[in-house]
Amino acid sequence: MVRKIPLYQKDGSDMTQKSNPKFRQPAEWELHRACWLAWPSHADLWQEDLPVVQAEFTALCRAIADPGTGKAPQEKLEILVCDNGGRAAAAGALGDLPVRFHQIPFGDIWLRDTAPIFVTSPQGDLAATRFCFNGWGGKYNLPGDDAVASRISDAFHGEKLAYSWVLEGGSIEVDGEGTCLTSRQCLLNPNRNPNLSQTEIETRLKESLGITKILWLQDGLLNDHTDGHIDTIARFAAPGVVLCMTPTTHDDPNRPVLEQIARDLEGFTDARDRKLKVIKIPSPGMVTNSQGSILPASYLNFYLANHTVIVPTYGVEADQAAVRAISECFPQRRTLGLAAKTILSGGGAFHCITQQEPLVPMAFQERSR
């Protein structure tokens, strides 16, 4: 059964939202049962790049499912496929991994934004929380994307929550202790929730995801299709510790934005009143596609799996230094740089195409039956 928590009355007036304080969104470094992804299969979108995208996707999946040292559970893969042909292709590439396929239509692979956000409670409950999705402010309305969260929720064995306002998973970053990072360029953009003020959006974030303090950055990267998603500009590495990027080349197209982000972060305190420790990672600088257009390349779009931190790389000079710097922030995990430039040509990298499902003992036992 889905508990629907509405945003507006039928006449469009604001409606007091039911609080859901027992759930919180865990930090990404907390253990995962599985990672949800979608097999790249749309030749009309990726064209001649599709085989390379599938190869980059496969390498990512293998890194996520790495069994590691056995100190943490192996992370399972829940993979969406559009049809039988997609299932066969995905099985051929991934069939030896701990994977389960779900035949669910989707527009493209950006599950960070189209899938539910999974939340947990101290009692061991797990819930799939879905919000409205409007194609990143109406820019990219692909058939099936607006129903992905609902269909994944249907396949999910746990509590289901539904909110009637627009939120994308890549627009928020949490520390698991009540602090949320986001950007005004995205969450306050009139193409998302034009009838909501900043205060109203903060209230809804707190009620739906167990957040107690929201820290607002301003703008994201140049040519970011998502209007400034936080997962390309600032990421938590631990409670009280946040990563951002610093320009290292004279032609970095994001120099002013990156410098402002660092200044803003250095002035923040978190939900527990700690001054943030800000660690600066090299920026990839100028990364362009085959037509010469600047891409929103970011090393911060890494995915933090149970055993491995998987950092997107772009074939530029800063790659090795960035992977090394990120590895120092996660000493208990292996850090691996993997090529992601072809996936990036579609608008995002590894974090954008993944959505973690936390490991909760009761939920894990239910799924193991």
Residue 161 DSSP label: E
Residue 252 pLDDT: 96
Which pLDDT tens digit goes with each residue over 210-222? 999 999 999 999 9
Residue 69 pLDDT: 72
Residues of the chain with pLDDT under 70: 1-21, 362-369
Residue 279 pLDDT: 98
Residue 11 pLDDT: 29
Residue 21 pLDDT: 57
* pTM > 0.85: yes
152 membership: H or E segment, kind and range:
helix 148-155
Residue 193 pLDDT: 97
Buried b (16+ CB within 10 A) or exposed e, 172-207: bbbbbbbbbbbbebbbbbeebbeebeeeebbbbbbb
Residue 2 pLDDT: 53
Residue 118 pLDDT: 97
Residue 338 pLDDT: 98
Residue 367 pLDDT: 46
Residue 353 DSSP label: G
User: Which residue carries 């990298």 as its tokens?
Assistant: 349
The alpha carbon dihedral of 67, 341, 281, 325 has a sign of: positive
Residue 9 pLDDT: 30
Is position 352 annotated as part of the catalytic site?
Answer: yes
The one catalytic residue among 61, 180, 244, 352? 352
Q: What domains are there in the chain, each with its CATH number?
A: 2-367 (3.75.10.10)
Residue 3 pLDDT: 54
Which pLDDT tens digit goes with each residue over 340-356? 999 999 999 999 999 99
